Chain A
Amino acid sequence: EAGVAQSPRYKIIEKRQSVAFWCNPISGHATLYWYQQILGQGPKLLIQFQNNGVVDDSQLPKDRFSAERLKGVDSTLKIQPAKLEDSAVYLCASRQRDSSGNTIYFGEGSWLTVV
């Protein structure tokens, strides 16, 4: 079974530039998450989708971050304009919808460095 796919793996940008990350979850997984993991910390949830709807985006800095999952499958996370403190790994994860599917599967992450 294919895992959660993310791209790009690595990105270096200057502050005030924009960047976009792409995620394709495991086939059939209705729930998709974007997490931000700063070096030395645990993952922090940015946004959760259920199919193509947003369930929770309370921790998403909406003045600069946006995310969409238009067709309920793959998703894009955008940062514009980037700040130095946005340097982190952006992890996409997915989960099955049914009650027995509580395992969250993470992608390998997109490593962002803002200089």
Chain B
Amino acid sequence: GQQVMQIPQYQHVQEGEDFTTYCNSSTTLSNIQWYKQRPGGHPVFLIQLVKSGEVKKQKRLTFQFGEAKKNSSLHITATQTTDVGTYFCAGRYSGAGSYQLTFGKGTKLSVIP
């Protein structure tokens, strides 16, 4: 089946350092979404990328969608303790008749104050 690979699985950073998580698919994605899940919480939608090469920013977060629409990244500048959580990418595959997302395994971010 279609899979979305996400790396790294874990990342520990000092507060103020940058953080990046990467998402890869072997086949072209129709779009990709990013979610954040706090410890003990549920996934919360962050953003959706649709266009090839698209870049979107939300304050300290920068999201990119690759030119081939097979990969994506989330970069956080100057991490804060409030950024702690697991970040998931979720891809929708082209041609999928129904709106379904395939989630990566997530990157768990720990921020050391």
Contact = CB atoms under 8 A, between A and B. Distances in A.
Given A42-B106, A43-B103, A105 B98 contact: no
A114 to B, nearest CB: 19
A95 B48 CA distance: 14
Contact of B99 (A43, A91, A95): A95
A48 B98 contact: yes
Interface string A77-115: 000000000000001000100000011111111000000
Interface string A2-35: 0000000000000000000000000000010000
A50 interface: yes
A60 interface: no
A38 B100 CA distance: 19
A91 B105 contact: no
Interface residues on chain B, size class: 20 to 34
B66 interface: no
Interface residues of A, number: 21
Given A102-B31, A102-B48, A103-B48, A45 B41 contact: no
A104 B105 contact: no
A103 B98 contact: no
A62 interface: no
Nearest to A101: B99
B41 A104 contact: no
Contact of B100 (A41, A42, A45, A91): A45
Nearest to B43: A106
A44 interface: yes
B103 A91 contact: no
Interface in B8-50: 31, 33, 41-45, 48
Q: Taking each of B6, B41, B43, which has the highest tally of chain A beta carbons within 10 Å of its own beta carbon?
A: B43
A41 B103 CA distance: 9
A45 B101 contact: yes
The 5 closest A-B pairs by CB, nearest first: A42-B103, A106-B42, A55-B98, A103-B45, A42-B105
Interface of A: 31, 40-45, 48, 50, 55-56, 91, 95, 102-109
